[in-house]
Amino acid sequence: MSANLPTLRLHYRDGAVAARDGVVVSFFIPHDHSIVAQACWRALQTYVRAIPPQSLNWYGADDGDVLELDEDGWEVIRKRMVDRPSRLAWHVGLSDLDGGTGGYQFEYHSRRIVLPLCVGSNTAMSFTFPTEFLLDQGPQRMRALVLDLARELPFHFGYASFALASREGSWTAGDWKVLEKYSARYLGLDLPAVASTGKLIGLHALGAHWLTFLGPPLLDRMGGTEALRQALPFPEVSLLPMDQERLLVTLSEWPEAIDIEKEPIPPQYRALACFLKPFMYTSGEDAGIGNYLDRWRRRLCP
């Protein structure tokens, strides 16, 4: 089987690219910065070694400006991710271009968990690749890289998916007519917004993806690996137990765009989506972007 992924572009009103097709890898971790900072920094180093040199060139400064990611900039990022233990929140955004087109991008968001006020807070991070990277590397090497990123992270949920990739969820500011056309046709397309989702997801899931990572306590609530094995009796599916009682579910050889103008929803994607449905995060909003995303997350199992 080969990849059958469309080329997608979403533009701002001025014609600049707001989002593009790519692969987004996201992890949600129910621990605050003081516990996970070192592991997340190592995952970032793994990402940097894997992508072409100088793929990340800009970073977001504390004052909201965008600065060049030179050696001094990397030291700023290291201190922001590894040091500063007294802060209440940590945010890092790295991108290929100063406007960020989603080709290569990294985000890290962590908030100190102060119970009970911040019971839903946790750490979230994402790594973005252009579709061309996947096509060049192939699905096996891409999956191995994603596993390397995940290896040390104490996630409760994570995923890798074909996605409409943008700088910090800026697909929301693009042309909505084009967005609705894409989302109605490509049901495998993820709409990532890790910064906003990370502070709300709590201990829930976000749906079925090409690679779906499950860990404690979420995996335990689902009935463990055996419950997933019974729910997914498909030859395309593989379950890979990981240490620290975590699990990787792979649904297909390549990420799926799920172009419903050409094919039905693959049964293994629907089965996992329905299995996860009771554990899914929903905003509960009746209107606005929260309601839109709630409906989108339920698209494979309404």
Which band of pLDDT confidence, cut at 50, 70 and 90, is reported for residue 166? confident
pLDDT digits (tens, 9 = 90+) for 243-294: 999 999 999 999 999 999 999 999 999 999 999 999 999 887 665 677 778 8
Range 77-92 average pLDDT = 80
Q: Is residue 76 in some structural domain? A: yes
Number of domains in the chain: 1
**Which residue type is seen at 118?**
C
Q: Is residue 147 in some structural domain? A: yes
Strands 9-11 and 58-60: unpaired
What does the pLDDT read at residue 116? Answer: 47
Report the chain's mean pLDDT, rounded to a whole number. Answer: 89
Q: Is residue 102 in some structural domain? A: yes
The CA-based dihedral angle spanning residues 268, 272, 275, 277, taken in that order and rounded to the nearest 10 degrees: -130
- Residue 301 region by backbone torsions, left for phi larger than 0, else alpha for psi between -120 and 50, else beta: beta
Q: Is residue 2 in some structural domain? A: no
For residue 26, give the nearest of 239, 168, 194, 249 by alpha carbon. Answer: 194
Separation of alpha carbons 284 and 290, rounded Å: 8
- pLDDT of 33 > 90? The answer is no
Q: Is residue 180 in some structural domain? A: yes
Range 225-248 average pLDDT = 97
- pLDDT of 71 > 60? The answer is yes
- More confident call, 120 vs 52: 52
What does the pLDDT read at residue 127? Answer: 97
- pLDDT of 106 > 70? The answer is yes
Q: Is residue 1 in some structural domain? A: no
Full residue range of the structural domain in which residue 260 is found: 9-297
Q: Is residue 66 in some structural domain? A: yes
Range 53-79 average pLDDT = 90
Q: Is residue 117 in some structural domain? A: yes
Separation of alpha carbons 238 and 184, rounded Å: 28
